[in-house]
Amino acid sequence: MYASTGAENENDTRMSWLSLIINASADTAETLSDALFELGALSVSIEDAQAGTEAEQPIFGEPGEPVDVVWNDSNVVALFDVDSDIAAILGQVAEQTGIDVSRNKVEQVAEQDWVRLTQAQFDPIQISERLWITPTWHQPPNPQAINLQLDPGLAFGTGSHPTTRLCLRWLDTHLRGGETLLDYGCGSGILAIAAVKLGAGQTTGIDIDPQAIVASKQNAEQNNVEANFRLPDSMLNQQFDVVVANILTNPLKVLAPLLAGTTRSGGRIALSGVLQEQAEEVMAIYQQWFELAPTVFDEGWACISGTRKV
């Protein structure tokens, strides 16, 4: 017979939550999610059951638009208090929804220092030979480099995503110093902040999300950078030497006349957030106003750039 040791019992007392994972179809995942919340789940997420395998199913959405598709083979993951009666909860879910919940498993989730755990996932990122992104809890690996101090926070953009890296590398390569610059869809402000550190002159960041403006201002202050961050309704009738926009394909298509209009004659533009297979349709629109350079790709994402026609 197996006997638990004292050390194992002590470890068990640190188990603070139960994770209930129910395998579901695309048709049933949302219904199960709603039912689990009603039955006291602390959190519920829907995940790709095939994540990390060849059958993984990528799903993309545009900002502000609902994603009305979930994975064909989904896992509904619900977090409950450790003393919850999971068998009873499963019975209630099945009774309320009429859905078969027999394909399930329960995992224990240990008490952890979630701040330290989250911080451990974000190491310094080298963008180029002279440009690094370093979270505030890390020492810069290269103190002589241009280091952007940026932590995960309210808005998109920590430098870990290929689209952000593409734009940062473009700025590092193309900024000569003193240019006026517009970062449209600034998110965390990372591109505008990097631009100033790389020598840009008057720099403006625009975003439709007020939280992004708050985050950008905080990040600029943390990096001892002066830049102007504001909502689009406060945009002035102004043209810039350089325009960067790291958003997604549909907004870039809609915003093409605006972004072209804010780029001065002979000025440059860099666009990212575009999937490789979508690059041609975006280029077809922007080539009305720009002489386009060869597109650069990173992990299936594109950076489209060019010079405003005179």
Pair of tokens at residue 81: 């208090």
DSSP state of 121: T
Same domain, 90 and 140: no
Q: Does 30 reside within a domain? A: yes
Radius of gyration of the chain (CA): 24
Q: Is residue 135 very low, low, confident or very high in pLDDT (cuts 50, 70, 90)?
A: confident
Contact 234, 49 (CB under 8 A): no
Among all chains, which residue has been given the structure tokens 């996932």?
121
If asked whether residues 136 and 27 sit together in one domain, one would say no
pLDDT tens, position by position, 60-117: 544 444 445 578 899 999 999 989 999 999 999 999 999 999 999 999 887 665 555 5
CB 72 within 8 A of CB 57: yes
In a domain, 269, yes or no: yes
Domain contains 116: no
Residue ending a domain, among 69, 87, 111, is: 111
Q: What angle do CA 59, 60, 66 make, to 5 degrees?
A: 105
In a domain, 69, yes or no: yes
Residue 173 maps to a domain: yes
> Last residue of a domain, which of 77, 111, 145?
111
- pTM score, whole prediction: 0.64
Neighbours of 200 (CB within 10 A): 24
Give the range of the structural domain holding residue 270, as residue numbers without chain letter. 121-308
How high is the pLDDT of residue 291?
Answer: 98
Is residue 1 assigned to a domain?
no
pLDDT (tens digit, 9 = 90+) per residue, 265-294? 999 999 999 999 999 999 999 999 999 999
pLDDT tens profile 141-163 = 888 999 998 876 544 555 678 99
- Which of 111, 130, 152 is the endpoint of a domain? 111
- In a domain, residue 192? The reply is yes
Number of domains in the chain: 2
Same domain as 279, residue 209: yes
